Homo-oligomer: A and B are copies of this chain.
Amino acid sequence: MRIGVLTAGGDCPGLNAVIRSVVHRALAGHNDEVIGFEDGFKGLLEGRYRKLDLNAVSGILARGGTILGSSRLERARLRQACEETEDLSRELGLDALIPIGGEGTLTASSMLAAAGLPVVGVPKTIDNDISATDRTFGFDTAVGVATEAIDRLKTTAESHQRVMVVEVMGRHAGWIALESGMAGGAHGICLPERPFSVDRLCEMVEERFARGKKFAVVCVAEGAHPAEGQMDYAKGEIDQYGHERFAGIGNQLAGELERRLGKEAKPVILGHVQRGGVPTAYDRVLATRFGWHAVEAVHRGDFGQMTALRGTDIVMAPLADAVTELKTVPVNRMAEAESVY
């Protein structure tokens, strides 16, 4: 068989591990041919690809980024592609396509599958917010980076008797904030799923200082926002790429805490360090398993599906189901953390 693979959407540690695993399994297990499309769906539509043999994927298991490049697909071109799937696979001699990507990519994959392209998806998001799978690769690495930052900030907060506000990724789902907050022992955690109370954050800080613990660390997801009436909150200037500039929730919350508490409060915005670099062992294993099972699904003809982790097993889940609902942090997980405000 001739199998195509592509990566789309944002960077995520473990992408290369999936590509490598697809190539290893397809070649060693099935004598397939694997081609890699460049820059995501763009490369597919423009017929830009290269053959991937063992040498092509040598040494990439632990490397961040993606050797294939990535891009975001415009809707117009996607619709057009859906109309031409037959031509597409005929021209390329493609027996199956394995797109690796997040919500947008999986939606596109679902549409292409519905239009007849033999697709097996691999979910990818550092945000861990895809409902069909217990976890996604990249998430563990992001949590690890954020946790190490909180570890470091705690000692400096303590030495300076300061409040540190760490802003981590997570616009719609607070998984990174929840787990890095728990792992780092943050004293307050603010999630997009529940408007937070600045009053309660202040009480917590005051209570800590009162019993001699003269510092506190608050971990706030970039998508978290204060409850009604808790603080003036201005969405920052939005740049042409759709990103908020400078005045995110981390900066504003630090300012508010400083004003209210009369104690020094400093923001740290972790930003893109969370999504690059060497993946953790956990993410490499999960990514490798996803790649292996994607190839097996291709050979079983399980199209229109994506790989998913359920407990300790890799199973297949319908692409259509996968993207209907965002997996947000449930109330019982917040309860476990105690420090969600």
A→B interface (CB under 8 Å): 10-11, 15, 24-25, 28-29, 54, 58, 61-66, 69-70, 134-135, 140, 143-149, 151-160, 164, 179-180, 182-185, 211, 213, 239-241, 243, 245-247, 251, 255, 258, 264, 266-273, 275-278, 280-282, 284-285, 288-289, 292-293, 310-312, 314, 336, 338
The answer to whether B336 and A292 touch across the interface, beta carbons within 8 angstroms, is yes
The answer to whether A276 and B24 touch across the interface, beta carbons within 8 angstroms, is no
The answer to whether B338 and A25 touch across the interface, beta carbons within 8 angstroms, is yes
Of the residues B29, B65, B185, B267, contact of A156 by C-beta under 8 Å: B65
Chain B residues with CB under 8 A of A246 = 246-247, 251
The answer to whether A312 and B134 touch across the interface, beta carbons within 8 angstroms, is yes
- Do A289 and B336 form a contact, CB below 8 Å, given A64-B152, A153-B273, A276-B155? yes
The answer to whether B271 and A266 touch across the interface, beta carbons within 8 angstroms, is yes
Shortest C-beta distance, A131 to chain B (Å), equals 11
Of the residues B144, B149, B240, contact of A280 by C-beta under 8 Å: B144
Chain B residues with CB under 8 A of A245 = 251, 255
Chain B residues with CB under 8 A of A25 = 338
Shortest C-beta distance, A68 to chain B (Å), equals 10
